[in-house]
C-alpha cells in the first residue's frame, strides 16, 4: 500500500527550524504548537494514510496532555509501532521539502539518518529531496515551508 502526506508551517523570525529532526541554523523557524517539523508531520500522515488509519490530528491532537511538548520524532516512532500492531512495516520513504532559504543540502544526509532510525528502516530505503519555490508563492516569499512524503508499506511476514 502507498500513502501520501503533506504538511505546511508558517515561518517567523526567532523560531527554531527543525526538519526531519535536524535543527538547521536559520533566521526563521516554524510557528507551531510542537517543534513544527513539517517533514516528520508529513511522514506521519503518509504512514497513517498507507494504513488507512486516519491522520495526524486524530492521533496526536495538540489538546492532548500526553503529547504536550513531545518531539515529532516521538510521533513518527509511535506511528511505526501502531503500524506494526496492525502487521504492517515500511518498505521505503521518499520526502520532498520545499523551502526558499536557507539551503539545506548539507543536512539531507542527517535527515535521512533520523528518518531511518525513527522508522527502523535502512538508510538506503530513505530519500530526502529539497527544492525552492523559485521565489513565488508563500514558500518563495519565505513565509512558509512545506513537505510532501510518499511511503510504501507492506505486511510483516509471519515467521
Ligand atoms: Mg504540522
Query: Mean pLDDT, to the nearest integer, of 110-120?
Result: 98
CA atoms of 120 and 117, how far apart (whole Å): 5
Given a cut of 90, is residue 34 above it in pLDDT?
Answer: no
Indicate the burial class of 89 (C-beta count within 10 angstroms; 0-12, 13-18, 19 or more): middle
Distance of CA 100 to the CA centre of its chain: 18
Confidence band for 159, pLDDT divided at 50, 70 and 90: low
CA 119 / ligand 1 centre spacing (Å): 18
Specify the pTM.
0.96
What is the CA(147)–ligand 1 centre distance, in A? 10
Q: Which residues surround the ion ligand 1 when the cut-off is CB under 5 Å? A: 7, 41
The arithmetic mean of pLDDT across residues 75-99, rounded, is: 98
Asked if 48 contacts 59 with a C-beta cutoff of 8 angstroms, the reply is yes
The grid coordinates of residue 8 equal 505546511
Task: Round the average pLDDT of the chain to a whole number and report it.
Answer: 95
Cell numbers standing for residue 112: 535521512
| Percent of the chain scoring above 90 in pLDDT | 88
Distance 120 CA to ligand 1 centre (A): 22
Ligand 1 center to 148 CA (angstroms): 12
Minimum mean pLDDT range among 45-59, 61-75, 76-90: 61-75
Residue 62: band (very low, low, confident or very high) from pLDDT cuts 50, 70, 90: confident
How far is the C-alpha of 52 from the C-alpha of 68, rounded, in Å?
25
Hey, which residues does 134 pair with through a beta bridge? none
pLDDT band at 27, cuts 50/70/90?
Answer: very high
Decide if 56 contacts 48 (C-beta within 8 A). Answer: yes
By CB atoms closer than 10 A (0-12, 13-18, 19+), residue 61 is exposed
Q: Taking 80 as the threshold, does the pLDDT of residue 39 lie above it?
A: yes
Task: Please tell me the predicted confidence (pLDDT) of residue 67.
Answer: 81
Amino acid at each position: 500500500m502507498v500513502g501520501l502526506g503533506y504538511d505546511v508551517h508558517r515561518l517567523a523570525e526567532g523560531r527554531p527550524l527543525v526538519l526531519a529532526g535536524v535543527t538547521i541554523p536559520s533566521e526563521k523557524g516554524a510557528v507551531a504548537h510542537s517543534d513544527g517539523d513539517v517533514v516528520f508531520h508529513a511522514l506521519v500522515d503518509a504512514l497513517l494514510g498507507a494504513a488507512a488509519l486516519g491522520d495526524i490530528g486524530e492521533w496526536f491532537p495538540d489538546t492532548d496532555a500526553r503529547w504536550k511538548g513531545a518531539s515529532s520524532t516521538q510521533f513518527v516512532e509511535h506511528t511505526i509501532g501502531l503500524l506494526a500492531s496492525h502487521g504492517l512495516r515500511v518498505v521505503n520513504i521518499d520526502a520532498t521539502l520545499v523551502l526558499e532559504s536557507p539551503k539545506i543540502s548539507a543536512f539531507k544526509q542527517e535527515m535521512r539518518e533520523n528518518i531511518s532510525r525513527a522508522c527502523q528502516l535502512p538508510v538506503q530505503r530513505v530519500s530526502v529531496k529539497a527544492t525552492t519555490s523559485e521565489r513565488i508563492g508563500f514558500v518563495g516569499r519565505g513565509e512558509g515551508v512545506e513537505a510532501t512524503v510518499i511511503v510504501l508499506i507492506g505486511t510483516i511476514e509471519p515467521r
